[in-house]
Amino acid sequence: MSLNPGPWLPTTADEIRARGWDAPDVVFVTGDAYVDHPSFAMAVLSRVLESHGFRVAILPQPDWRSAAAWRALGRPRLFYAVSAGNMDSMINHYTANKKRRNDDAYSPGGRIGLRPDRPTPAYAQRCREAFPGVPVVIGGIEASLRRIAHFDYWSEHVRPSMLAASKADLLAFGKGEATIVAIARRLAAGQPVTAVRDLRGVVYLLGAKEALPVWPGETLALPSLEDVTRDPMAFARMTRTFHHETNPFNAKRLTQAHGDRTLVLNPPCLPIGEAEMDAIYDLPYTRRPHPRYAEPIPAHTMIKDSVQIMRGCFGGCTFCSITMHEGRVIQSRSPRSVLAEVKTIAADPAFKGTISDLGGPTANMYQMRCTRPEVEAVCKRLSCIHPTICKLLGTSHAPTIELMRGARAVPGVKRVHIASGIRMDLANLDDAYVDELVTHHVGGHLKVAPEHQSDRVLALMKKPSHREFETFAGKFRRASERTGKEQYLVPYFIASHPGCGVEDMIELAVFLKKHGYRPRQVQDFIPAPMDIATCIYHTGIDPLTMAAVDTVKKLRDRQTQRALMQFFEPRNWFVVHKALVDAGRRDLIGSAKHCLIPATPPPEALAAKRREATEATHVHAEDAGTQPTIGYRPGRKGARRRSQR
């Protein structure tokens, strides 16, 4: 990490002219505010392109209702790079119950409405409208997770690849540094965009009369868009095949018919090495939002003093998209590079002394790899640690421990927190790591994600048995006692995951009561595109076993599961009472120590019920359904409200 940050990349025509450019080579269009920090994808990709000699301009959160902002910036010489931003836009905009969120962490002041739903196709359309003929390359997590036909939770429909919806020339998936540089070089050399279809990590659509190009490896056909739309079994087969072709060392090229056209997915990019990782993170980031913003960017405020030490995750959790986007192979930075970034942060006069996180997708997977490269090259396992930890996996925490010690020894650093998730089953293998973590890197509370208590549900999640959490909790408690610190675990659990029923949630509630946990935040399962759990939610079929799995879908059932996790909240008394009675668990109602709720509703529960009745009557009387909603599409009437008119 450079102590001398480079100048901001231009965001306006005036800033482009101030650089002495006649035109940028690449215009990066993003749904996020422009933050020049290595935790923001647009900053990383743009700085990487810049380091290879390309002129890059940033078009952050443009008004998508017209092409004016695109035209104002001028025609890029090579291509447009389009991304919805660091988060999937639909998860960013909506809760698990499909209600609009009231803030956007990647926008100035947390304001909503600065990007549309699914901005990738909207931005791509404006690129073509502003300057026809300029190649358009889409990427980022939104496009990456929608690179083939996929189930869309928010519309409850199977949608085609986002490449088809956007009509872009290419879709780059995964972490795209090598891909975007290769595209820029090839286009700069005068090659047409169709000539770069041989790159790894890209998806393209063939025309109706175009032949499938020659590929050195094997090609596998997925069930067609039409088949997966009408047949749940075909959707499950597609998901299973897709997930088994994600190891970059042995993945086949995939095709999928979209009507009379063929979608072609080349294998993923190969993992990048330590030197390449260092080169990316050593670039001269300013680590700040662009001066154009008068308001803070909440996401930057949260991560500005954090350091990413690695990428990827070999956990393979069925509800998580990290592996599908970043890959299963862990890609780590060198200690030298990480500590150089810590020193850069510590040298900032505004630094308060605390590194907020030293981690990544999973903080304690740093430098963990398969110990047998020849086996890794042919392996088809979706998880290196489920159902058991692979005996070939290197699980030493020694590099992580040394890195933690080095970071807190940097002058000016008072504390180094580990805020990223950790794998408790891996941590349980190394008491020295647990001691180091608890003694020096927990700021009173440590967030962990056991996710559930039911081993049957955990197996569907590809998570370890609940016993791993109990083992870790014991080690954490004893280590805290030895250090003389009062510290607590903050466990996260998921409600309404596919395969989870009311009985499973009651089992979890009993566990929470027994151990004194009162979760204030509940994770409601959200079916993100292309996850295995999403396939189960949509089809009722586990694609890995092709067995039927029961799944809750109705809002009332999902609310019941959530209420059971927060059984201690008085407002949930009536919902929890009904669930316990219906399940034949009246033994959990009463004044005994083990009971979840009292026999009679508390005053707060009665008051909440009266408020709900009053609000329902008021809404009916005022015919609120005729009023326009204000959100990401100002003036747009919600689907539910339209149906009531």
For residue 419, the 8-state DSSP code is -
Task: Establish whether the linkage from the previous residue to 387 is cis, with ω within 30° of 0.
Answer: yes
Structurally, what CATH architecture does the domain formed by 13-205+261-265 represent? 3-Layer(aba) Sandwich (3.40)
Please name the residues in contact with 137: beta carbons below 8 A apart, sequence gap of 6 or more: 79, 80, 81, 82, 168, 169, 170, 171, 172, 180, 183
The domain defined by 305-441 folds into Transcription Regulator spoIIAA (3.30.750)
Q: Residue 429 has which token pair?
A: 């293998």
pLDDT confidence of residue 488: 93
pLDDT above 60: residue 294: yes
Do 13-205+261-265 and 305-441 come out as alike in CATH topology? Answer: no
Q: Residue 132 and residue 643: Cα distance in Å, rounded?
A: 39
Domain boundaries, the chain: 13-205+261-265, 305-441, 446-601, 608-644
The partner residues of 488 in beta bridges, in order of sequence, read 445
Q: Which tens digits make up the pLDDT trace of 356-402? A: 999 999 999 999 999 999 999 999 999 999 999 999 999 999 999 99
The domain defined by 446-601 folds into Transcription Regulator spoIIAA (3.30.750)
Mean pLDDT of 62-81: 98
pLDDT above 50: residue 62: yes
User: Is residue 386 within 8 Å of residue 323, measured between CB atoms?
Assistant: no
Q: Which tens digits make up the pLDDT trace of 128-153? A: 999 999 999 999 999 999 999 999 99
Going 428 to 432 to 437 to 439, the CA torsion angle's sign is: positive
Which amino acid, one-letter code, is at 132? P
Q: Residue 447 and residue 422: Cα distance in Å, rounded?
A: 9
Mean pLDDT of 179-208: 97
Rg of the chain over Cα atoms, rounded to whole angstroms, equals: 25
Please name the residues in contact with 22: beta carbons below 8 A apart, sequence gap of 6 or more: none
Predicted confidence band of residue 635 (pLDDT cuts 50, 70, 90): very low
How many Å from the N-terminal Cα to the C-terminal Cα in the chain? Answer: 57
Strand 170-172 with 136-139, pairing? parallel
pLDDT confidence of residue 608: 82
Q: Residue 234 has which token pair?
A: 């075909």
